[in-house]
Amino acid sequence: MPVIQVPVVVGEGSAKILLVSKIPFFPSAFAIQDIEKQVIIEDSMIISQQAVISGLVQKSITFKTLDKTRSFGRAHCVYGRLRHCTVEIPFHLVVAVSRALPGDTCHIDKTFIEGTQDDLLDPQNDGTFTTLLEKAIIRLDISLTRTKNLFVNTRPQYSVRDILQKLIKETNRDDHAKSKRCEPIKPVVID
């Protein structure tokens, strides 16, 4: 009998981690325009009924600098450039999954950042700051699969003879209903 290999889900789990990172700005930042975050999984393995996952959070920060200021009457203008900073912050976490065995495959079903808090640190006299303290809660949902062998029955359920006889009976019944003068079709057996 032929065998096919099928992945079967053997366990699921989730975990959270708090990442705290200090990000320096050079030059000093006047204002943060945007912060994009992406969770990247680099590696996973099963150890003692636990999934060990390594990854990083990649942050792309767009910020404004302060080159000079000018006042025009009651208006105050700040001139500067738009800059960016890309930071990769590594993390490692463990997800307990009962029935996990070495050799199981870890699938990351969902990764998301549940919440963040940004604090501006090291203020300068000109109104800029040099450091961003960011706290982020990362959550991962995983599932583990194990390959199972399934035996496949390739024998046909009906023989060719059975199928032909069934077709002939249905044809005879339909023809008999249309005209009572028709003779039934004689079965032809093909082996």
Instruction: Quick: pLDDT tens for 89-128.
Output: 999 999 999 889 989 999 999 998 999 999 999 999 999 9
Same-domain status, 87 and 171: no
> Based on the number of CB atoms within 10 Å of its own CB, is 77 exposed (0-12), middle (13-18) or buried (19 or more)?
exposed
Cα angle 33-35-37, degrees, rounded to a multiple of 5: 165
Q: Could you list the residue range(s) of the whole structural domain that residue 191 is in? A: 156-191
Number of domains in the chain: 2
pLDDT band at 186 (very low <50, low <70, confident <90, very high): low
Same-domain status, 94 and 165: no
15-34 pLDDT, tens digit per residue, is 999 999 999 999 999 999 99
pLDDT band at 170 (very low <50, low <70, confident <90, very high): confident
Same-domain status, 145 and 166: no
Same-domain status, 129 and 189: no
Same-domain status, 137 and 180: no
Same-domain status, 24 and 111: yes
Q: Report CA Rg, the chain.
A: 34
Q: How many CB atoms lie within 10 A of CB 156?
A: 9
161 vs 139, residue with greater confidence: 139
Strand partners, 149: 5
- Mean pLDDT to the nearest integer, 167-175: 68
Q: How many CB atoms lie within 10 A of CB 9?
A: 10
Same-domain status, 144 and 183: no
Same-domain status, 8 and 91: yes
